[in-house]
Amino acid sequence: MPPDPASPAVCVARASAVPGACTEDGPGGSGGSPLFMLHSVPAVVESYPPANSALRLWALDASSWAPTASTTYVADIAAANAAGAALYAREYELPVDFGMADLSPLSWEGVAAAAATNASLFERLWRVHGKSYARAPACNLKDACADALLAYINGTGVDK
């Protein structure tokens, strides 16, 4: 669905994943309309499951509105509570940081299959699943939590 023409949203930056998306005459005749959506997940307080606050910026195809990329930024909630303000930093970008061809279910299935035998990749997935929360419970590839996360990623399970 196209963005609401009455929306006060404006393009503030040009995303590398979608060249020209925020130019005056962006793709698909957008006329400079933003082609991105910003989501906040989870709450901005420490929560269960343990995770930091995150913002996700999506790049969308101008004609189909299908997501083509996303960049996730996280704020360390413990540090924000101590400092009195949250500072968001880039955590990862999809599909680039996980070597995916695109954001399709097939690509996610490939990431899950690779992570099932690659401890380093699994650890990275586990870390970003918790939004780099320092007090997140530990999980390694041989644990039941690994089976649950990989099943969630490949679409055969439910996030727990």
- State the DSSP string of 9-21: ----S--TTSTTT
Q: How many domains does the chain have?
A: 1
Whether 106 is covered by a domain: the verdict is yes
Q: What is the pLDDT of residues 39-90, one digit of tens each?
A: 455 555 555 566 788 888 888 888 888 889 999 888 888 888 899 988 889 9
Structural domain boundaries enclosing 84: 27-153
Using DSSP, state whether 55 is helix, strand or coil: strand
Q: What share of the chain is helix, strand, coil (3-state, %, to 5)?
A: 30, 20, 55
Whether 129 is covered by a domain: the verdict is yes
Whether 19 is covered by a domain: the verdict is no
Furthest C-alpha separation in the chain? 51
Could you tell me which residue, 119 or 3, shows the higher pLDDT?
119
Could you tell me which residue, 140 or 10, shows the higher pLDDT?
140
Whether 158 is covered by a domain: the verdict is no
Whether 133 is covered by a domain: the verdict is yes
Could you tell me which residue, 156 or 55, shows the higher pLDDT?
55
Whether 14 is covered by a domain: the verdict is no
pLDDT of residue 141: 87
Percent share of the chain, pLDDT over 70: 66
Mean pLDDT on 98-109: 91
Whether 111 is covered by a domain: the verdict is yes
Mean pLDDT on 17-45: 48
pLDDT of residue 6: 55
Whether 113 is covered by a domain: the verdict is yes
pLDDT of residue 158: 58
pTM for this entry: 0.64
CA atoms within a 13 Å half-sphere pointing along the CA-CB vector of 37? 14
> Amino acid identity, residue 98?
F
